[in-house]
Structure 1
């Protein structure tokens, strides 16, 4: 392990990071376990190229902490964890398949400490393979892969509806414009749900063809990625990479609500207060984007009734309404209300933090 890895992990508030190097591909594997008081850690596996391996490690740790708050925030007994596979830019299909198999074997060595699912750069088919080898992939039904994207999108829709009601006094999408950034596994189905609900769509993606595909299917206007900050919209729905909300971008926002599926949308917690100071209602990401996690954890426990799964996901809207009201009463960002809710669940069901005397 390099000195850079040690510096980063020693400064982290999580429990542990399991690191492995895949010599066949040059990929680094990071499995970050942030807080397992509620149970074994569970979170997606992200596969991506990074400027340096340490950036993949940092991503894994940030995402793992987000999973701690996500599970506790929606009252599910899993611990916070995340895996990142930092790959070289030129990884071919055959090499990738071998890497997935070796990663699955790596999970076996963890003996159930981490269970995983789809994230950016991995697919339901990857999870079926990982599940067959390790037994530690969630969201599989009879060994077949499921797709969390539509459930996540449904939860985001419920959250946006709650935000509209709180911010504007009604949950009607008619006449409301939504800027969807990122038209991938969640953004694409979200755009469809928004169009069906009557929203006006503004669509943007670094891959213009993805935005065009959504436009062809659902209508709306395609916005160049470098022009999205100049778009007037009622709702900004970030559904791609994290940290799009920061001291540079928040002053440029032209919306009343931020509510989307991306993880770690804020560069830091201070950005939540920056949004509040501008009168922008923020739906905490780890609450509004929990639909896939909620559904797949229920599937993992044996739930198969689609009506009940959808109803469970729709409860995200009710949770956010409560957080918005609590935050408004306290004169603070909904992020703080969400964090208190999660801490209450952790304290009630998980015992003292690791290392507490």
Structure 2
């Protein structure tokens, strides 16, 4: 009798790829009160126009998924030619439907194009097991995300439920794979398994991020309390300036600019890179880890914002704007050194390092002005 049942199950599995898009599981139809709220919020974001997303040129199956997700969760938050995305819909952190279909043969041939993501801090030693269970799973450890990718929401729900069993040690990889096939057969047989109908856990919202830790000697730390106005912050300020100049110099070297300005950019990257290493080594020698405070982060953000304005430019236009930015940036760096860092620093070795750094910054400013005058 067991042999007969196995044969029947395998026969059903072989036909699932035909049925997959026309016989969705119960979880593809159920809507909770939370779903309704998210539906209303998403619709409001796009003026309630559920038909605003044009997927007429998409393949049939992804197009169907977009229609299903829109009907259940409301209008998406992001729309591009290749992907449609919902945020904070139902129990999910994110839902994504892609135009591109990826062939996937577990547990039976189908196409992957629907991804459901939940917040979850997956233990590092379980990540390989989850991929071995279902190669379509993706784990973003840093963001604390666990994603399942398939052709039906219910089967992604099944993947996430079984993944949690693996994480908790209640199922092995082999047992989870077997259970997946059995649940899919039951689902298509109209039995509505609980593992397919809905998540059997509430995705956590706290303590799921994993920022990891620095491995570069002397690297800074972030969010260290009570480091404002300390040598730790001063060290981080110095390297914030270094990073901004290095990134700008690296971008300049991609552009079609004159030889002298190209040489200037290369020099800046080399010298600020060397200063970054000296700053890190100094921090180690004085037993002070640089601390990225909100003020330090603001300096780095400012540099990124100013560099963003240069990116679209090239040739003479970039060269002119780059030199203007270097004059402005190094002038501001000198002001920070004179009126903030030298006054705040307490360690004598750190004060000397800042003084040495100031000499280089002043030289860089003079060179930028000369290049500007000769351009």
Q: TM-score range by the shorter chain?
A: under 0.3
Normalised by the length of structure 2, the TM-score is: 0.25
Write 1 or 2 for the structure with the bigger share of strand.
Answer: 1
TM-score of the pair, normalised by structure 1: 0.26
Structure richer in helix, relative to its length = 2
Structure with higher Rg: it is 2
Q: With a CA cutoff of 8 Å and minimum separation of 6, indicate the structure with the bigger relative contact order.
A: 1
